[in-house]
Amino acid sequence: MRTRPIMPTITLLLMAAGCAMSPSGEFNANKDLVREFTDAANAADWDGLAEIVAEDFTRHSAATAGPPVHSRDEFIELQKIFLGSFPDQHVRLEQLIAEGDLVAALATYSGTQTGPMGAFPAMFRMESGQIAELWVEWDNVAMLTQLGLFPPSPPPSS
């Protein structure tokens, strides 16, 4: 298998419940939780992820048929599999926006594929200060094009 770098931009929507609003109107605790999640995933800090992901964590995906994840332990095992596919994977948070009980994030994922392709996180639901659910969505055509497995779009005609 040839290795290929990928750098799709993913949009994350993070939903939180029961958090106090800061004087600036932002839910800084939820933003900080997203930052901690990203830092732990980037560092392969499984203990750190275990502290911020709920025990009954659920992962959903319309972009793939699976694998189903219904617990924190299953999620951490899945992250280990992703690390085997993309050992240099890295998520860079570009922007976090909080309003009401929602936190949206724009992030860039990069990595070099050296094993089977896996899924990429996209949307989180937070509950009681932990991440409770994750929906996985991405642009399959853009990613496969970057990997050289799908023909690029023709240039626009003038």
Per-residue model confidence (pLDDT) at position 88: 92
Longest Cα–Cα distance in the chain: 54
The whole-angstrom separation of Cα 27 and Cα 97 is: 9
With 0.75 as the threshold, say if the pTM is over it: no
Per-residue model confidence (pLDDT) at position 49: 94
Give buried/exposed letters for 75-101 (b at 16+ CB in 10 A, else e): bbebbeebbebbeebebebeebebeeb
Per-residue pLDDT of 110-143, as tens digits, reads: 888 776 554 444 666 778 888 777 666 666 676 6
Instruction: Mention the CATH class of domain 4-146.
Output: alpha beta
Per-residue model confidence (pLDDT) at position 69: 85
Per-residue model confidence (pLDDT) at position 9: 44
Show the tokens assigned to 69: 């994840």
Per-residue model confidence (pLDDT) at position 64: 61
Strands (E), the chain: 4-6, 9-15, 53-61, 90-99, 102-113, 123-127, 130-136
Strands (E), 22-119: 53-61, 90-99, 102-113
Per-residue model confidence (pLDDT) at position 55: 95
Show the tokens assigned to 87: 């050992």
Per-residue model confidence (pLDDT) at position 96: 81
Each residue's pLDDT, cut to its tens digit, for the chain (158 residues) gives 445 555 544 444 444 444 444 444 446 888 888 899 999 999 999 999 999 999 998 887 666 656 678 999 998 998 898 888 889 989 888 888 776 666 677 777 788 877 655 444 466 677 888 877 766 666 667 666 766 777 777 777 76
Query: How is the chain split into domains, by residue range?
Result: 4-146
